[in-house]
Amino acid sequence: MDTSNSLARSGPLSGYERRVLGALCDTLLPPGGAIPPGAAELEIAGDIEALLRRLRGQPRWLVRAMLLGFDLTALLSRRPSLFHRLDADHRYQWVEASRSSRFRPRREALSGLDVLIQLAYASHPQVASLIGYDGQPLVALGPAGSATGPPPPVDLPVITYPAVRDATIVADVVVVGSGAGGAVAADTLARAGLDVVVLEEGPPIHRSDITGHRPVERLFELYRDGGLTFTLGNPVISLPMGRAVGGTTVVNSGTCFRTPDAILASWAASGIPGVAPEAMAPWFEAVEEMLGVQPVPEDVLGANGETMRRGAEELGLSGGPIRRNIRGCHGHGVCAFGCPVDAKQAMHLSYLPRAVAAGARVYSGTRVRKIRLDAGRAAGVVADVLDPETGRRRGTLEVDARATVLAAGAIFTPALLARQRLARSSRQLGHNLVIHPGAGTTARFDEPLRAWRGTMQSYYVDEKLSDGVLLEATFPPPGLGYSAGSLPGWGRDKSLFALYPHMASCGSIIGDAGVGRVSPLGRNGVAIRYDLTQRDAAKVVEGIAMAAEIFFAAGATEVYPMLPGLDAIHSAAEVRLVREGRWRPSDLHLSAYHPMGSARMGADPSSSVVDPFGRVWDVPDLFVFDASVLPSSCHVNPQMTVMALVARMAARLADSLS
């Protein structure tokens, strides 16, 4: 019996889409070569479909659109046909030509599907083991309870469906979102004696949700839309975000830079009081002490960090081991998929437990859809209560509060406000979005490095920070790099895959202009528009060139700059091919992790959304305490900036309410 039609009806893909995906998987990953099993033998298309089944809405549509779009592009070939109907040789030629096609939709559809297929293939247990990936920490983990074992798990009390369904509760302050901003706000306000309620859309995270689950599964659990969130524009940029109790800090890399003095000074010069470097120093110190911020210890720096240090020192470039929020790090190198030993001091392990100890109540699976207004003042929120199993709406939770704090992050906070047409008098809401776009650069060495062992993000080079280029040695588990760890395909014989243990990689962070724009889409969605400027594209290219020079200085034999027509370079002399190329924004493979600035703070209500203490200019009793308020790019990973600014703003709010 042919079951394809009934499967098509129940699965996330139709029978036709499944055929296109199967054809692409077979073309990219045929049997034989350096990693013998092919995609068909391992049923990679089925694994992708199983992952897609966990998602709803936009990301599924995106994958389906890419499949349709890529299939149609082959009609433009010299032998017009749908891609999936071509024979194997012509499919291969079409794929290879598509990688450097000048027709953006063709190149970007392939690139998006390529990432998904690479992710599913490389994280298949059989392939991971053939690559040599064992997921073991660099420093052996002792038994629980021993000095070298994991600490006792943290049991954060969180209220979730069905314990909450339809209800109205009263609090002094309601905080929307539990990430870097929301958790610090809740802690500050609760310790000041205020009755605080935190509403978080995502699920609660316990260590047992992380240990025993593969990183790829965690990606689909801990990230919004399984990490398949993108900006629309030129080029399309991957912009993953966390969605969990603890927000994006659960999945971030734990890198902790203070805001550079020059940036703070520029914000102070714009008229914002109390943000000059000396005024902010005590706020940073308090956050750092709370989170155990320290440079990556030598024993968990790992080969990726050591390689970058060797190259940077050889060239005399300024840099060092990254400062991170860790206690008892063993170097599992999976920080962006939840820390399996709770070493990374994410919000669900640090600020939220302290807030709860001071009386705060944390609700998960509660998606705020509306700010309640009473005679023009904010008076709390209305939230959908979600079933954690199905994601379906099961009830309505209303919170009646004296002050309402939005900390849903720089994408969802402006969308929430815009949906109700609030905070729009300056016309800046949702504008000025900065994302720190960056490119990954991977290099091959003769000797095996097994660079996934050790801290995932370990060593920085800030030689050109003042020009807006920061490099960070970053090596994710195989197949899970959006940026760092990416390869220009893997060759028909999968040879680059097999060389994975010989690779090192580095990501870049670009201090970009605030050209992005967030708007609400439908009931809960968002549209993120972002067109990279030519100036910022030049910074990305400079980051790739610097990374290549560092890798060659450290002894690399080949570097993959991921630029069209320039798959690999083989010596430091060839780095000029990167610098001298006339690359356009659309030529770059970018990802970004740091949305900021979409409800910026300022001293002037005509050009900012919130005042210098996060109060929405237009709506009394409404505050924004998250990455949205940054007045511009902070040029470094932003969580410390967010936490320190929020601690300062929340202290002011606590004073005014006490």
Ligand X SMILES: Cc1cc2nc3c(=O)[nH]c(=O)nc-3n(C[C@H](O)[C@H](O)[C@H](O)COP(=O)(O)OP(=O)(O)OC[C@H]3O[C@@H](n4cnc5c(N)ncnc54)[C@H](O)[C@@H]3O)c2cc1C
For β-strands 440-444 and 503-510, DSSP reports them as: antiparallel
Rounded CA gap, 321 and 298, in Å? 8
Local structure of residue 447 (DSSP, 8 states): S
**Residue of 574, 526, 658 lying closest to 192 (CA atoms):** 658
Stretch in the footprint of ligand X (CB under 6 A) among 27-35, 229-237, 251-259, 515-523: 251-259
Q: Among 248, 426, 455, 458, which residue interacts with ligand X (rule: CB under 6 A)?
A: 248
Site string for ligand SF4, 237-256 (x = CB under 6 A): -----------------x--
Rounded CA gap, 474 and 505, in Å? 6
Rounded CA gap, 229 and 231, in Å? 7
CB of 484 to ligand X, least distance (A): 11
Task: Examine the residue annotation and report whether 594 is marked as an active-site residue of this protein.
Answer: yes
Is residue 178 part of the contact set for ligand X (CB under 6 A)? yes
Q: Among 194, 339, 385, 596, which residue interacts with ligand SF4 (rule: CB under 6 A)?
A: 339
Buried b (16+ CB within 10 A) or exposed e, 474-492: bbbbbbbbbbbbbbbbbee
241 binds, among ligand X, ligand SF4, none (CB under 5 to 8 A by kind): ligand X
CB of 594 to ligand X, least distance (A): 5
CB of 344 to ligand SF4, least distance (A): 4
Smaller CB separation from ligand X, 73 or 632: 632
Contact 504, 309 (CB under 8 A): no
**Residue of 103, 16, 2, 108 lying closest to 62 (CA atoms):** 108
- 379-386: list long-range contacts, CB under 8 Å, 24+ apart: 379/404, 379/621, 380/171, 380/174, 380/404, 381/174, 381/176, 381/199, 383/199, 385/161, 385/164, 385/165, 385/166, 386/161, 386/201
CA distances from 632 to 541, 594, 598, 621, 635 (A): 22, 12, 9, 25, 9
Stretch in the footprint of ligand X (CB under 6 A) among 19-27, 310-318, 401-409, 540-548: 401-409
Local structure of residue 153 (DSSP, 8 states): P
Is residue 185 part of the contact set for ligand X (CB under 6 A)? no
332 binds, among ligand X, ligand SF4, none (CB under 5 to 8 A by kind): ligand SF4
Is residue 336 part of the contact set for ligand X (CB under 6 A)? yes
Please tell me whether residue 506 adopts helix, strand or coil conformation. Answer: strand
243 binds, among ligand SF4, ligand X, none (CB under 5 to 8 A by kind): ligand X
Other beta carbons within 10 Å of 246: 29
Rounded CA gap, 658 and 651, in Å? 11
CB of 199 to ligand X, least distance (A): 5
CB of 241 to ligand SF4, least distance (A): 19
Q: Residue 74: CB partners within 8 Å, gap ≥ 6?
A: 80, 81, 82, 83, 86, 94
Is residue 305 part of the contact set for ligand SF4 (CB under 6 A)? no
Is residue 419 part of the contact set for ligand X (CB under 6 A)? no
Q: Among 541, 637, 647, 654, which residue interacts with ligand X (rule: CB under 6 A)?
A: 637
Measured in degrees and rounded to the nearest 5, phi and psi for residue 197 equal -120, 130
Helices (H), 432-533: 495-498
Maximum Cα–Cα distance for the chain, whole Å? 74
Per rule CB under 6 A, count of chain residues that contact ligand SF4: 15
Site string for ligand X, 351-390 (x = CB under 6 A): ----------------xx----------------------
Is residue 307 part of the contact set for ligand SF4 (CB under 6 A)? no
Local structure of residue 197 (DSSP, 8 states): E
**Residue of 383, 387, 363 lying closest to 372 (CA atoms):** 383
Q: Among 59, 177, 181, 333, which residue interacts with ligand SF4 (rule: CB under 6 A)?
A: 333
177 binds, among ligand SF4, ligand X, none (CB under 5 to 8 A by kind): ligand X
Is residue 309 part of the contact set for ligand SF4 (CB under 6 A)? no
Rounded CA gap, 430 and 437, in Å? 18
343 binds, among ligand SF4, ligand X, none (CB under 5 to 8 A by kind): ligand SF4
Is residue 180 part of the contact set for ligand X (CB under 6 A)? yes
The Cα angle at residue 185 between residues 184 and 191, in degrees rounded to 5: 90
Smaller CB separation from ligand X, 30 or 277: 277
Q: Among 12, 38, 203, 331, which residue interacts with ligand SF4 (rule: CB under 6 A)?
A: 331
Contact 178, 156 (CB under 8 A): no
Is residue 189 part of the contact set for ligand SF4 (CB under 6 A)? no
CB of 321 to ligand SF4, least distance (A): 13
Is residue 341 part of the contact set for ligand SF4 (CB under 6 A)? yes
326 binds, among ligand SF4, ligand X, none (CB under 5 to 8 A by kind): ligand SF4
Half-sphere exposure of residue 595: CA atoms within 13 angstroms, side-chain side: 31
Active-site residue, selected from the candidate residues 330, 348, 594, 635? 594
Smaller CB separation from ligand SF4, 296 or 544: 296
CB of 598 to ligand X, least distance (A): 10
Q: Among 115, 263, 326, 360, which residue interacts with ligand SF4 (rule: CB under 6 A)?
A: 326
Which residues does the annotation mark as catalytic?
Answer: 594
Chain residues that interact with ligand SF4, rule: CB under 6 A: 254, 326, 329-335, 339, 341, 343-344, 455-456
Chain residues that interact with ligand X, rule: CB under 6 A: 176-182, 199-202, 240-244, 247-249, 251-255, 336, 367-368, 407-410, 412, 416, 457, 593-594, 626-627, 637-640, 642
